Structure 1
Amino acid sequence: MTMAEAARDPIRVRPEDAHEFVVALLEASGVDRKNAEIVARGLVQADLRGVESHGVNRIPSYLARVRNGVLDPRAEPTLTEVTPVVAQVDGHNGFGFPAAHLGMEKAISMARTFGIGMVSVKHSNHFGMSAWIVRQAVEAGMMSLVFTNSSPALPVWGGKTQLMGVSPIACGAPGGNNSKPFILDMAPSVAARGKIHKALRRGEKIPTDWALDSEGRPTDDPEQALKGVMLPMGGPKGSALAIMMDVFSGVLSGSAFAGGVTGPYDMSKPGDVGHFFVTIKPDLFLSLQEFRDRMDILYQRVVGSEKMHGVDRIYFPGEIEQLTEESRLKDGIPYVQEEIDVLNAEAERLGVAKMRVRR
């Protein structure tokens, strides 16, 4: 085995060690313990679910934004009630995770009392993987819609320049008594932009149908892809979904929109990201038991469908990620040496202990 190959071997880290490492970095950067715990929980959940593009390796870019004065580590989100079922959170340019957590917490509370809750979040930042917020609702027994906008990366259909964000559409519902919950978290592009950053970080190529370079040509080079545009899934359909995210998350909230959001790797100015959450009690129109029974039927019919040639198993949305999490909770989260080195460089800069790894 060459040294290069050895460097690609996964290094396992216990989830609790990854969590405490992130908390230590954030506290050393001025984030209070409560908010640091929320950020760490969201990032580690992404790594556990196999969504490494939105996991702990996002921390260096977040901390770079803190150092450059375009993200306020000490900001506390504030909440304003608009009606009994509508509220708005102002993130005050702090980390997006606490603002999103507060918004979903309020939406859940309203839905428990009134059956539905709706929260808009303004002046926020990147909040990682949307599925962790969907999961917050699912674990409270709620259905949910989770929208956010993001920095320009996609052209609108027929255009050639970046305008819309690769803004995920996410939603979820509790499962039945014998089925997994439904958790959907998908980008309107062929692939999430974070996957290109991950490929660049790991020295990997990308599929040529993910993005175009600055000259409008398909590319397998992640560096060139980041200089060009992401490709929307389904052509005009993906483009329209990206615009929808901007309407509900940006236009409605009072945050940036139409290409005005600043990305987490851009150190020029605050992000001004907007989010939009809706929670719904699942027993509004029938009993909770009936809902769960019907979710069981849906799950079984989906995973029990006749398989196309070459398919061994059909999964419910979110099920692969849940199975990955179960495995990584036992075996640890895999990182590569380059990622560990970058994270430990942040630890050295801030004077905190390096990440503990399994040997």
Structure 2
Amino acid sequence: MHKNFSEETLRNFTKQVFTEMGCSEEHAELATDVLIQADLRGVDSHGVARLSGYYRLCCKGRINTTPNIRIIHETPTTATVDGDSGLGLVVAPFAMKIAIEKAKIYGSGWVSVKNSNHFGIAGYHSLMAVEEDMIGISMTNASPLVAPTYSNERMLGTNPMCYAFPAGNYPPVVVDMATATAANGKLEIAQRAKKQVPEGWIQDKLGNSTTDPDALKNGGSLLPLGSDKDHGSHKGFGLSATVDIFSAVLSGANYGPWVPPFVAFLDPPSDPVGEGIGHFVGAMRVDGFRPIDEFKQHLDNWILTFKNATTVNPNKKVVIPGEPEYLFTQERKQSGIPLVQPVVDDLNQLATTLKINGL
């Protein structure tokens, strides 16, 4: 069962939560926008359902709601940002703005980030560049829940990466994906719905395949994209490793098994190799390669060509990356954002704790 809430209702509620946590008006508004855009785009696992998680981390002193986000190393086209333990929802857009400004001058801009926290959906940050007729790239490492190929030890996060490209008459092409078989948030959705997950998503603590979404709580691990060694998991492992190195080894953040957990009841490792969680963002001017109008015209042609590809089932069309999220946004702006009852209950409990009006 779920209930629909208007975008305005959820924006007002979410902003109030962040304000009560101690965020400035500007930061509360930005953090709210990142979460609401996730819900609008149908990425329910990274929307307002995450609010209580951020609050609990704040209470544990692991999120600084008044961070001094700053550049600590810089060249004309690159920079490293120290997020000062701030909300990743605020730190990552700060970094992307720097990348965009550098790109405006030099053609491209690249920014690595350390000492941050969970940054929401990667697509939000990449799409900031698209708004400037640029190609946007964003990625982040995350809490270790994924076992590398041949292992049953949690060593990597779901480590999402996103590439976003501006189109002309069509929505942007947005390739936004976890480098694990599934994002942890999808397991949380299955747990709340009391449903099994598909074969190949997770393994138990002994390395046996299971469809029990609670296996992760009992010492199991997510699998890299590709599922197992016979279905290309080494490729998912390679992509996840790439994200970890760009996001953390490059910036000075924690990497691999040292990445702090998103949950407040687990303490970060006592022997950190860096500071906080790491991100990597980039922006490239399309007109650094060819005129923007030409690019958009040909990307439109690319989209149309793939959408018209012959399919095995004539009732189904090829889905362009980013298309489902665009359609979700159009629908949910009209009909509202659906929240399942456990999420509504959780948010109302948070409202009680903060002494604000609930949903």
Please give the range of the TM-score, normalised by the shorter of the 2 chains: over 0.9
Corresponding position of 2:272 = none
The correspondence for 1:304, drawn from 286, 308, 314, is 308
Task: Indicate whether 1:157 and 2:149 are aligned.
Answer: yes
Alignment deviations for residues 187-212 of structure 1 (CA, whole Å, 9 cap, x no partner) = 11111111112222333322232101
Structure 1 distance, partners of 2:300, 2:44, is: 30
Q: Tell me by how many angstroms 1:284 deviates.
A: 1.1
Corresponding position of 1:342 = 346
The correspondence for 1:258, drawn from 256, 259, 273, is 256
Structure 2 distance, partners of 1:294, 1:214, is: 48
Task: Indicate whether 1:278 and 2:282 are aligned.
Answer: yes
Alignment deviations for residues 88-134 of structure 1 (CA, whole Å, 9 cap, x no partner) = 21111110011101000111111111110111111000001111111
Note if contact 1:251-1:257 (Cα within 8 Å) is conserved in structure 2: yes
Q: Which amino acid is 1:326 matched to?
A: Q
Q: Tell me by how many angstroms 1:137 deviates.
A: 1.3
Q: Which amino acid is 2:346 matched to?
A: V
Corresponding position of 1:84 = 76
Task: Indicate whether 1:147 and 2:151 are aligned.
Answer: no
Larger mean CA deviation between 221-230 and 145-154 belongs to 221-230
Structure 2 distance, partners of 1:139, 1:150, is: 27
SS at match of 2:290: coil
Unmatched runs of 5 consecutive residues or more in structure 1: 1-7
Q: Which amino acid is 2:282 matched to?
A: V
Q: Which amino acid is 1:351 matched to?
A: K
The correspondence for 2:159, drawn from 156, 161, 167, is 167
The correspondence for 1:203, drawn from 163, 187, 194, is 194
Note if contact 1:142-1:174 (Cα within 8 Å) is conserved in structure 2: yes
RMSD over aligned Cα atoms? 1.5
Structure 2 distance, partners of 1:48, 1:205, is: 25
TM-score in terms of structure 2 length: 0.93
Task: Indicate whether 1:245 and 2:249 are aligned.
Answer: no
Structure 1 residues 336 and 30 mapped into 2: Cα distance closer, same or farther (>3 Å)?
same
Alignment of 1:1-359 (within 5 A): 8=1, 10-80=2-72, 82-176=74-168, 178-226=169-217, 227-234=219-226, 235-267=233-265, 268-269=267-268, 272-309=276-313, 311-355=315-359
Q: Which amino acid is 1:282 matched to?
A: V
SS at match of 2:257: coil
Note if contact 2:70-2:82 (Cα within 8 Å) is conserved in structure 1: yes
Structure 1 distance, partners of 2:5, 2:118, is: 24
Q: Which amino acid is 1:340 matched to?
A: V
Structure 2 distance, partners of 1:340, 1:203, is: 16
Structure 2 distance, partners of 1:96, 1:162, is: 23
Alignment deviations for residues 42-73 of structure 1 (CA, whole Å, 9 cap, x no partner) = 11111111111111000111111111122222
Q: Tell me by how many angstroms 1:225 deviates.
A: 2.9
Q: Which amino acid is 1:69 matched to?
A: G
Structure 2 distance, partners of 1:253, 1:145, is: 16
Structure 2 distance, partners of 1:59, 1:179, is: 32
Q: Which amino acid is 1:49 matched to?
A: R
Structure 1 residues 333 and 93 mapped into 2: Cα distance closer, same or farther (>3 Å)?
same
SS at match of 1:61: helix
Unmatched runs of 5 consecutive residues or more in structure 2: 227-232, 270-274
| Equivalent residue pairs, number | 346
SS at match of 1:154: coil
SS at match of 2:244: helix
Note if contact 2:126-2:136 (Cα within 8 Å) is conserved in structure 1: yes
Structure 1 distance, partners of 2:90, 2:346, is: 25
Larger mean CA deviation between 321-330 and 225-234 belongs to 225-234
Q: Which amino acid is 1:37 matched to?
A: E
Alignment deviations for residues 248-279 of structure 1 (CA, whole Å, 9 cap, x no partner) = 11100000012111121144139811011111
Q: Which amino acid is 1:166 matched to?
A: T
Q: Give % identity.
A: 33
Structure 2 distance, partners of 1:254, 1:239, is: 21
Larger mean CA deviation between 270-279 and 256-265 belongs to 270-279
SS at match of 1:131: helix
Structure 1 distance, partners of 2:68, 2:32, is: 16
Corresponding position of 2:230 = none
SS at match of 2:281: strand
Structure 1 distance, partners of 2:154, 2:268, is: 18
Q: Which amino acid is 1:110 matched to?
A: K
SS at match of 2:210: coil
